[in-house]
């Protein structure tokens, strides 16, 4: 698989307008590599965790080919002092707990520091090259839940196991999810070890144990929870977007032959929990504001969302216009100079039957307490 990158989106003219100057597509940075950068222009400013050599992990922000060291920037007095403790740690959990107001304020401050030549001398000494850094999981992930919101994916996978009834009747009423294994989430680039497990081919009398023969990928958005909720206190749909700190890309590796045998009656288990890969950079929900779009009308005959999953704000801007793709590049292809092969392309706003906020609202609707740094897959 090619390296999983941070999401890239193309804004739709006229919808919606940038919320402030940080989203202005004409804005440039004195960091020359940021201007026109395909992943890390000044409009993005995603968060991650890095180290240099044997140094301690630190929070950083990607800008062009560089990383801005948040701990050093805070120690230099260039950021609000009450952010210093959370930004000085080796994971983003405490910072995400600050909530969307501080997140937006920090983004605005960083955009100012990186766009004005007046700040260049003070800031550039706190930057390091990405090529020299080691990247880590951006959060200590306490819990990981994977949802099933891509209707085309749900239909295609369902067809593998239930050819005559691929999409179960509850799919269009309730966001379907299962609790995954947080301990096996890894940052992209880590090796994939082929899982072993039980499988039972259709023509076999008895199951057998061995390496998976049908290892599959799933391209998803990863959603990181920011501010959490108390146990027993559901997050209302109108507030759910404010509990999303940001997004990454996620590869839900899947052993389909193991899954076909084990998934009934309790769903995925060993077919999924051996590895989940995520991109090292988290794009803030605030940075993606210009790419929000209205939820399209449900197809004729589909039920409307139940009231706890329905809100005007979601109808008007619940989808994200993000284009994603998966490419394959083998060692032999690289040696031969062959370009990566595109396996699939997708559009999040067209594929996702349920929005990110609907997922969060449903996850907490029974009183489940979400916590900063929790990971949700789509």
Catalytic residues: 153
Query: What are the φ and ψ backbone dihedral angles of 49, each rounded to 5 degrees?
Result: -130, 130
228's CB contacts (< 8 A; 6+ apart) are 97, 243, 369, 370, 371, 372, 374
Kindly list the distances between the CA atom of residue 51 and the CA atoms of 19, 55, 70, 132, 227, in Å, as whole numbers in the listed order.
33, 6, 12, 9, 26
For 55, what's the count of Cα atoms within 13 Å in the CB-facing half-sphere?
Answer: 16
The answer to whether the bond into 265 is cis (omega within 30° of 0) is yes
Q: Quick one: tokens of 169?
A: 């009747």
Nearest Cα neighbor of 322 from 217, 188, 221, 218 is: 221
Kindly list the distances between the CA atom of residue 96 and the CA atoms of 24, 26, 191, in Å, as whole numbers in the listed order.
24, 28, 29
Looking at the DSSP bridge assignments, the partners of residue 15 are 12
Do 226 and 165 form a contact (C-beta atoms < 8 A)? no
Nearest Cα neighbor of 295 from 247, 241, 242 is: 241
d(CA 377, CA 180): 9
Sign of CA dihedral 72, 75, 78, 83: positive
Paired sense of beta strands 375-377 and 219-225, if any: antiparallel
52's CB contacts (< 8 A; 6+ apart) are 128, 132, 133, 134
- Cα 252-103-294 angle, rounded to 5 deg: 65
């Amino acid at each position: 698989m090619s390296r999983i990158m941070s999401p890239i989106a193309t804004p739709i003219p006229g919808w919606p307008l940038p919320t402030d100057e940080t989203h202005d597509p004409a804005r440039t940075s004195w960091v020359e590599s940021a201007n026109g950068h395909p992943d890390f222009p000044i409009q993005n400013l995603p968060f991650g965790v890095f180290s240099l050599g044997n140094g301690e992990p630190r929070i950083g922000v990607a800008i062009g080919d560089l990383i801005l060291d948040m701990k050093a920037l805070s120690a230099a007095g260039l950021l609000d002092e009450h952010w210093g403790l959370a930004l000085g740690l080796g994971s983003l959990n405490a910072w995400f707990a600050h909530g969307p107001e501080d997140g937006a304020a920090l983004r605005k401050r960083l955009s100012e520091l990186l766009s004005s030549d007046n700040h260049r001398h003070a800031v550039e000494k706190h930057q390091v090259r990405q090529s020299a850094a080691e990247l880590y999981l951006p959060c200590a992930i306490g819990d990981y839940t994977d949802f099933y919101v891509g209707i085309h994916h749900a239909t295609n996978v369902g067809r593998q196991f239930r050819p005559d009834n691929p999409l179960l009747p509850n799919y269009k009423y309730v966001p379907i999810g299962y609790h995954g294994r947080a301990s096996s989430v890894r940052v992209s680039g880590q090796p994939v070890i082929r899982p072993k497990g039980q499988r039972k081919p259709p023509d076999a009398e008895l199951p057998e144990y061995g390496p998976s023969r049908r290892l599959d990928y799933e391209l998803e958005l990863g959603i990181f929870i920011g501010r959490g909720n108390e146990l027993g206190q559901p997050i209302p749909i109108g507030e759910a977007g404010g509990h999303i700190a940001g997004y990454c890309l996620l590869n839900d590796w899947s052993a389909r032959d193991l899954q076909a045998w084990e998934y009934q009656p309790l769903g995925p288990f060993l077919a999924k929990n051996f590895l989940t890969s995520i991109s090292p950079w988290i794009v803030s929900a605030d940075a993606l504001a210009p790419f929000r779009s209205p939820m399209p009308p449900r197809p004729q005959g589909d039920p409307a969302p139940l009231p706890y999953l329905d809100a005007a704000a979601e109808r008007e801007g619940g989808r994200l216009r993000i284009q994603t793709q998966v490419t394959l590049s083998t060692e032999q292809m690289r040696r031969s100079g062959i370009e990566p092969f595109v396996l699939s392309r997708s559009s999040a706003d067209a594929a996702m039957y349920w929005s990110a906020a609907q997922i969060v609202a449903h996850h907490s609707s029974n009183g489940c307490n979400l916590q900063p740094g929790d990971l949700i897959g789509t």
